[in-house]
Structures are given as structure tokens and as C-alpha cells.
């Protein structure tokens, strides 16, 4: 049975499938906007279809269980992940099936229903719908039962919650929005698509992992999101590029957050939220350190093996080693026990304190502390302390005394807990999958969209303007540019908010990198070569100096598909400042690139791979200028670096900013650099934005109090 309407806004069709199946067909814009669907009969089965005309979107806030095994009204699902699958059921050719994967289960109460009930069309502010069929009634704001209604269609009417008992199954549809359908249709006709005012719930500027995680998390909550990306592919520093049969990772190839256990596998979770999964290859050695005095330490995936290797090198410090890393585990375990959401959202934060008081107090205690101070409590050997500096340098590009203890613990333990896992096909696959997932959720990503300014109206961020003059508008703007770029470039000429002044007092831009992407003949590398290496040859003092230490990854050791047969890929990074490269005539610039790359190759030949130079078949050198150009980061910076000794993570800003409706996400937000860290900032940002646009619970009074408290705490840093 089809419900006709000249301009269908919300349309359902029912058809019977063989056996005990019923089919609910969701047309046009409806799927994500349903809000809440609850069957009352646990034995009945349902399949969900969405018209191919619609970009397939996932379900958030729909309480569904596996589409093939049927609903279970006792087990309501808070979040469901939908993935497109092969067509099931005898629906029309136009319809595609979703297989619904279950996520976290949670019994719901009425309060949660309301809080979840973004309602259909809430993001477009349509949301007004009336059921018109035999026995259909609608009430504003309250639940309504409609017995044995087999069909219903929309028409303009009153918004609110409605509950339909449909063929013995109860569907509950809730909406918070108030615009009549007529108005909505009018808006649709007048071009409610790209570019119209307030078309979106959120615009995300930049498609780095932080931006994409924020965007996808919002999209699955029911928001309509537009991501604006300057480049032609997503991912920013976690992107990829292909040349001559090689697939190179733009940035780090050391991937945290990809495990299948705990709460800290944020990449796995972010992908699953949009129905994606990536195959990964476990890395048996996180990193192989090659350090002064011929100190060589392999960080094995197995914690016991790593500790055995380290205590073998420093037997007199065995107790100190166990105590330092033991303290890291205390923090890691506390982190891993929490449900990670926005620390700027009081209902969540107090809820976590209530459920896990010891863990939260542990984290609050370590929030203002640095790893170097804690290491010095237990360890005296200067060489071992320098080793811990090198361990922290990988995390933060600064030594242990300047590295927040929470961040150090996260990295030093997760590599043994979830492990380092390389995504098959390269790191770029993460961003590609998230971008696809975003589109599957009904949101959009626009490439070659170079945002030049954030549009303000009476001090409120309302849109983004591109270099070609196009303008897009949304209720909220999320900047995945660094805070320096956001406030220095995108809001040029505006007064710098006090919070940003404070941030810039505490943090400076970390230097950029010189990168060398290489294809080499495979026979140059010994057969048991590890994937990741850190090289600092003779002098510990050079650790933090430009070109002092070398990061080297050989991802083809794990995934040979990234290079032509008989070849390996080498990704080489070393810190380098923009000042070294600016103002050079083209010829000198190219010559300097060659000289610097040559020296790095010489060092690697000497320390690791004799004959490396003669085995190179492809090479591309990137300087800080390259990183600035492609990643749109001021001075090509790697992220924030403390000016002096920081108070741990205390000074790091979260996602809200001093500008109304403007949020930041990425590595200049809490907790800092690293793919998993920016993924966390994306999760936090989406939660805070969702609360502010009415997709999550919110308490304005508590909000104001918490935001003031956090602002004050930051001034102590």
C-alpha cells in the first residue's frame, strides 16, 4: 500500500512479507529522522527498507535489533548501526535493505525516549506530521495509540509525539520540531539544499579525523552535517596519496584505537557507528628504538616481553621501571573503564563521577601532572630517564617533563592492551570509510571547498564562506582547523576571545616536519625488519632539535599491497621549522630539500640499512611548506606544544570556544595530537554540539556552571 502525496515529506509503505515479517519502508528523508520506533511484540520480525532515491542513512535513536532476528521489546537498543546490505524481502526494486547491527543495549525509560527523540525532520525543522488513516489520531506532545492501523500518511498538522499501533506492532514516532509541513515544503521548494540559510545542523570545516569523527557522530545522532574540505580527498594528516603504484600515508602510520576490546578503541567505534569496519594487521613491535650508546629497545606488543627487555638493559632499575609503568596502567585502566564523551557536558560528567568515582578521581588527580615528574619519583638512571623522554617525544614531540601523564599513559599502555594495528590498504582508508559513512547517514561532504572565513552574525557563528564566494549556513560551526588558523585566519579581524588568549599564552605551535616518502627495492631490508623505528644516534640532547630524531615506518612490512611487488615503502619524518624553508628562491629550496634528504638517508644507511641509497626507486620530499599548503595548518605545525612546563592537560581547551555556536575539534583541543586523541576530541565535540542543538540531554544551568569552572581551571595551567 503506497501513500500518495504530491510532494512526499514523510511516507511509509507497508507490505507483508512471507511468514511473520512486516516491512516498513522509509522514503525520502525519513530514515534518520524517525526518532524512535518500538515494537511491542517481541516475536514479530521486521525488515527496514529505504528507497534508493534516498541516500541510505543509518538509524540513531531507533530501537531496533537485528533486522533478521526480529525485535525484542525487552531489549531496547540505544544506538543501532545500519549498514547497507543486499536486498532482502520482496520489496520493490527501488528499495534496498539495511542490515541493522546491534550496538550498546540499554533499557530505555520515557525520559530517554524524549531525549533521543530528535524526531523526523528535526534537522530540517520539518517534523510536523499527522497520521491520517482509519483510527489515526494525533496528539501534540503526548503518546498516542492508534489501534491496528495499517497505513498512515503525512499531511500538515501538529507536531509532537505520536505512537502507532500498526498490525500489532507499536511504532512510536516522536518529534520535537514545530514547523508545519506546508512551511517545510515551501522551504524545500525554495532550495533547502546546499547553500540555503540554516540548511544544516552543523558545518565542519576540514575533514581530518577529528572533523570526520565529529561529523559522523552527529550524523548518527540525527543531525544534518556538511563537511567542507579544501583538498580532493578526506583525512588531512591522516590522508593518503598514490604515486607509481605506491599508496603512501600522509602522516603517522602508528595506529592506536583499532582494537576490538575496551572503551579506548575509538577508531573501531567511530567506524562502527557508521556501519564500517576495516580489516587490520596487528603489529608485533610498536616501535624499535635505536638510541645513543647503542641502546636498542624493542617495544613488544606483549607488555611482559617489553618489561623483560627493558629490565634486561637496566637491571638496577627494575623496581623503578615496574612502578613507573605500573602507574601508567592505573591511569589507563581508569580511562578504559569510562564511557568517553564530552567532559564539557555536566550530565555525562556527573553521571560518570557517580558511577565510577575512584576512576574519575584518579583521572582528576593526574590531569595536572606530567610523565617526567612521575618517572623521576621512581627512576634515577639518567639514560633510562632519557629513554622515557624518547617514549614521550613520540607522543608529544616534547620530553617527558612536558608531556601530560594522561596522554603518556594512554599511549604507553594501549600499545600493549589494544595494540598497534595497521589498517589494510593504508591509513587513508579510515578517512575514506568515515566520509562514506557520513554520506550513508544522509549528510554531505564537499571537496575543493576552501573555507576562507567563518560568517558571524551578532557575534554568533552562522556559516562558512569559501574562496569562490559560496556561503553555507548552519546552526553550529565546527572548525577542524587548528585554533591558530581558526582565530587567526578564519576569524581574521575579530577580537581574540579571552580563552584563546589564554591558550596562546600556554601553548605555541609545535614545529612542522620534513617528510620523505620512498619506494625501495625490498632486498635492502633484512627479512625480520620491524615496521616502526625511532632513530637518535649519538647525543640525547639532540632529541628535540630540528632533524635530531628520525621517525621511520615501513608499512609494507605489514601490508605488502601498498607497493608494487618486490618493493617496500619507507615513510620518514623528522622535525623541521618553517623558518628554515621560507623566503628561499625556488632553486635553493629544491637544492636544500635534496641536501637535507640526503643527510637523513646517510644516517639511516649507517644505522639501519646499508645500501639504502642505491635501492631507492621513488622518492618525494615534503617540507613544512608542503604541509602548510596541503593541510592548511599555520606554519605546517604538528600541533600545540607547551611554552613552559605545563600543568599536564589542565590548560588544554575542550571544544567550545568564546564565540557562540563555534566549536573547535582536532589536535589543538583536549587531549592533543595523535589520531586516537583527535578521534576522542571528535567524540567529545559531537556530544557537546548534540546537546546544544537538542539531540542530547542538556542542563543549561549546570552547563554554565561547568563551563565556568573549566574555564577557571584552565587559567591555573
Q: Which residues bind ligand LYC (CB under 6 A)?
A: 252, 254, 256, 287, 335, 338, 340, 343, 352, 360, 363-364, 394-395, 406-407, 410-411, 532-534, 551-553, 671-674, 676-677, 680
Minimum distance of ligand LYC from residue 300's CB (angstroms): 15
Measured CA to CA, the distance from residue 521 to residue 619 in angstroms comes to 12
**Least separation, in Å, of the C-beta of 679 and ligand LYC?**
9
Q: Which residue has the cell 629497545?
A: 297
Residues contacting residue 546 through CB under 8 Å, at least 6 positions apart: 511, 574, 575, 576, 577, 580
**Residue with smaller CB distance to ligand LYC, 131 or 287:** 287
**Comparison of 173 and 394: residue with beta carbon closer to ligand LYC:** 394
Pick the closer one to ligand LYC by CB: 558 or 677.
677
**In angstroms, what is the minimal distance from the CB of 606 to ligand LYC?**
18
Strand partners, 465: 453, 471
Closer residue to ligand LYC in complex, CB, 173/649: 649
> What gap in Å lies between CA 189 and CA 528, rounded to an integer?
63
Q: How far apart are CA 610 and CA 669, in angstroms?
A: 42
Q: How far apart are CA 282 and CA 269, in angstroms?
A: 17
Nearest to 162 by CA among 177, 142, 134, 147: 142
Shortest separation between residue 251's beta carbon and ligand LYC, angstroms:
8
| Closest distance of CB 388 from ligand LYC, Å | 15
Helix (H/G/I), strand (E/B), else coil: 215:
helix
- Beta-carbon-side half-sphere exposure of residue 72 (alpha carbons within 13 Å): 13
Residue nearer to ligand LYC on the CB measure, 451 or 535: 535
Q: What is the CA radius of gyration of the chain?
A: 27
Backbone dihedral angles phi then psi of residue 316, each to the nearest 5 degrees: -70, -10
Name which of 252 and 386 has its Cβ closer to ligand LYC. Answer: 252
CB of 530 to ligand LYC, least distance (A): 10
Grid cell for residue 559: 601490508
Which is nearer to ligand LYC, 153 or 301 (by Cβ)?
301
Least distance to ligand LYC from the beta carbon of 457, Å?
31
- State the Cα–Cα distance between residues 231 and 450, nearest whole angstrom: 8
257-260-264-270 Cα dihedral, nearest 10 degrees: 70
Q: Which is nearer to ligand LYC, 324 or 551 (CB)?
A: 551
When the beta carbons of 222 and 346 are compared against ligand LYC, the nearer one is 346
| Cis amide leading into 205 (omega within 30) | no
- Spell 181-202 as b/e; 16+ CB within 10 A means b: beebbebbeeebeeeeeebbbb
DSSP state, 467?
Answer: T
As measured in angstroms, the least distance from the Cβ of 104 to ligand LYC is 18
Q: Smallest gap, in angstroms, from Cβ of residue 405 to ligand LYC?
A: 11
Of the two residues 12 and 680, which places its CB atom closer to ligand LYC in the complex?
680
Residue 128, beta-bridge partner list? 159
**Least distance in angstroms from the C-beta of 611 to ligand LYC:** 21
Q: C-beta of 695: minimal distance to ligand LYC in Å?
A: 21
- Retrieve residue 697's grid coordinates: 540531554
Task: Give the residue nearest to ligand LYC (CB).
Answer: 674
Residue 179 or 347: the one with the smaller Cβ distance to ligand LYC is 347
Q: How far is the CB of 556 from ligand LYC (least distance, A)?
A: 14
C-beta of 411 vs 596, nearer to ligand LYC = 411
Q: Which is nearer to ligand LYC, 275 or 671 (CB)?
A: 671
64 vs 363, beta carbon nearer ligand LYC = 363
Greatest alpha-carbon pair distance for the chain in Å reads: 85
Exposed / middle / buried, residue 255 (Cβ in 10 Å: 0-12, 13-18, 19+): buried
In the complex, the smallest distance separating the C-beta of residue 408 from ligand LYC, rounded to whole angstroms, is: 8
Give the nearest distance from C-beta 429 to ligand LYC in angstroms.
18
Residue 415 Cβ vs ligand LYC, minimum distance, rounded to whole Å = 10
C-alpha distance from residue 673 to each of 197, 393, 403, 638, 680 (Å):
34, 12, 11, 8, 11
Question: Which CB sits closer to ligand LYC, 45 or 532?
Answer: 532
Q: Encode 314-365 in three state secondary structure.
A: CHHHHHHHHHHHHHHHHHHHHHHHCCCCCCCCHHHHHHHHHHCHHHHHHHHH
- Yes or no: say if 163 and 184 are a contact pair by the CB < 8 Å rule: no
Distance of CA 304 to the CA centre of its chain: 31
Range 269-280 burial, b when 16+ CB lie within 10 A, else e: bbbbbbbbebeb
Assign residue 624 a region (left: φ > 0; alpha: ψ between -120 and 50; beta: otherwise): alpha
Return the bridge partners of 568, or none: 520
HSE of 194 in the Cβ direction (CA atoms, 13 Å)? 11
Give residue 333's Cα distance to chain centre: 22
Amino acid at each position: 500500500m503506497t501513500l500518495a502525496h504530491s510532494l512526499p515529506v514523510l511516507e511509509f509503505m507497508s507490505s507483508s512479507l512471507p511468514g511473520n515479517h512486516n516491512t516498513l519502508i522509509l522514503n525520502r528523508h525519513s530514515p534518520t529522522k524517525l526518532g524512535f520506533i518500538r515494537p511491542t511484540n517481541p516475536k514479530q520480525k521486521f525488515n527496514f527498507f529505504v528507497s534508493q532515491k534516498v541516500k541510505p542513512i543509518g538509524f540513531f535513536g531507533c530501537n531496533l535489533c537485528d533486522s533478521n532476528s526480529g525485535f525484542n521489546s525487552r531489549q531496547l537498543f540505544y544506538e543501532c548501526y545500519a549498514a547497507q546490505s543486499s536486498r532482502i524481502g520482496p520489496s520493490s526494486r527501488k528499495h534496498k535493505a539495511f542490515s541493522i547491527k546491534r550496538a550498546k543495549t540499554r533499557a530505555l525509560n520515557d525520559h530517554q525516549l524524549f531525549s533521543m527523540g530528535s524526531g523526523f525532520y528535526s534537522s530540517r525543522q520539518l517534523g510536523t506530521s499527522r497520521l491520517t488513516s482509519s483510527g489515526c489520531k494525533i496528539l501534540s506532545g503526548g503518546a498516542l495509540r492508534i489501534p491496528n492501523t495499517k497505513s498512515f500518511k503525512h499531511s500538515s498538522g501538529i507536531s509532537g509525539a505520536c505512537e502507532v499501533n500498526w498490525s500489532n506492532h507499536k511504532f512510536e514516532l516522536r518529534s520535537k520540531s514545530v514547523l508545519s509541513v506546508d512551511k517545510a515544503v515551501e522551504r524545500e521548494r525554495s532550495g533547502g539544499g546546499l547553500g540555503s540559510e540554516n540548511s544544516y545542523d552543523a558545518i565542519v570545516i576540514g575533514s581530518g579525523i577529528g572533523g570526520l569523527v565529529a561529523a559522523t557522530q552527529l550524523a548518527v545522532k540525527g543531525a544534518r552535517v556538511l563537511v567542507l574540505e579544501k583538498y580532493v580527498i578526506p583525512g588531512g594528516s591522516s590522508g593518503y596519496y598514490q604515486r607509481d603504484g605506491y599508496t603512501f600515508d600522509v602522516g603517522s602510520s602508528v595506529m592506536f584505537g583499532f582494537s576490538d576490546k575496551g572503551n579506548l578503541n575509538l577508531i573501531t567505534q567511530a567506524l562502527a557507528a557508521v556501519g564500517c569496519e576495516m580489516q587490520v594487521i596487528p603489529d608485533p613491535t610498536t616501535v624499535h628504538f635505536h638510541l645513543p650508546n647503542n641502546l636498542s629497545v624493542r617495544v613488544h606488543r606483549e607488555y611482559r616481553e617489553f618489561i623483560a627487555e627493558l629490565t634486561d638493559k637496566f637491571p638496577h632499575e627494575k623496581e623503578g621501571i615496574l612502578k613507573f609503568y605500573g602507574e601508567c596502567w592505573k591511569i589507563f585502566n581508569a580511562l578504559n573503564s569510562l564511557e568517553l564523551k564530552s567532559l564539557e557536558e555536566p550530565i555525562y560528567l556527573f553521571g560518570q563521577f557517580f558511577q565510577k568515582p575512584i576512576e574519575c578521581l584518579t583521572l582528576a588527580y593526574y590531569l595536572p601532572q606530567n610523565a617526567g615528574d612521575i618517572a623521576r619519583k621512581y627512576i634515577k638512571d639518567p639514560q633510562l630517564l632519557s629513554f622515557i623522554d624518547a617514549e614521550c617525544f613520540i607522543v608529544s614531540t616534547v620530553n617527558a617533563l612536558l608531556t601530560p601523564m594522561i596522554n603518556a599513559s594512554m599511549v604507553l599502555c594501549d600499545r600493549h592492551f589494544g595494540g598497534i594495528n595497521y589498517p589494510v590498504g593504508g591509513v587513508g582508508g579510515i578517512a575514506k570509510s568515515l566520509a562514506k559513512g557520513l554520506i550513508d547517514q544522509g549528510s554531505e561532504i564537499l571537496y575543493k571547498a576552501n573555507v576562507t572565513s567563518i560568517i558571524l552574525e551578532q557575534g554568533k557563528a552562522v556559516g562558512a564562506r569559501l574562496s569562490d564566494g559560496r556561503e553555507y549556513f548552519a546552526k553550529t560551526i565546527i572548525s577542524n582547523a587548528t585554533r591558530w588558523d581558526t582565530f587567526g585566519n578564519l576569524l581574521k579581524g575579530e577580537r581574540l576571545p579571552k580563552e584563546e588568549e589564554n591558550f596562546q599564552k600556554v601553548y605555541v605551535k609545535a614545529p612542522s616536519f620534513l617528510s620523505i616518502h620512498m619506494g625501495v627495492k625490498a632486498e635492502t631490508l633484512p627479512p625480520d625488519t620491524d615496521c616502526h623505528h625511532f632513530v637518535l644516534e649519538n647525543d640525547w640532547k639532540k632529541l628535540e632539535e630540528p632533524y635530531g630524531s628520525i621517525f621511520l615506518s615501513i608499512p609494507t612490512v605489514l601490508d605488502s599491497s601498498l607497493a608494487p611487488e618486490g618493493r617496500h615503502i619507507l615513510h620518514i619524518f623528522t622535525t623541521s621549522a618553517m623558518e628554515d624553508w621560507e623566503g628561499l628562491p625556488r632553486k635553493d629550496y629544491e637544492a636544500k630539500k635534496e641536501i637535507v634528504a640526503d643527510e637523513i638517508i646517510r644516517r639511516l644507511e649507517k644505522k639501519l640499512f646499508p645500501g639504502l641509497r642505491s635501492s631507492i626507486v621513488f622518492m618525494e620530499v615534503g617540507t613544512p611548506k608542503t604541509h602548510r599548503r596541503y593541510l592548511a595548518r599555520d606554519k605546517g605545525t604538528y600541533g600545540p606544544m607547551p611554552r613552559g612546563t605545563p600543568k599536564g592537560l589542565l590548560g588544554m581547551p575542550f571544544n567550545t570556544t568564546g564565540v557562540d555556536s563555534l566549536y573547535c575539534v582536532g589536535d589543538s583541543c583536549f587531549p592533543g595530537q595523535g589520531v586516537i586523541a583527535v578521534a576522542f576530541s571528535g567524540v567529545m565535540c559531537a556530544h557537546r554540539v548534540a546537546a546544544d542543538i537538542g539531540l542530547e540531554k542538556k542542563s543549561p544551568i549546570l552547563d554554565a556552571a561547568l563551563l565556568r569552572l573549566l574555564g577557571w581551571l584552565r587559567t591555573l595551567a
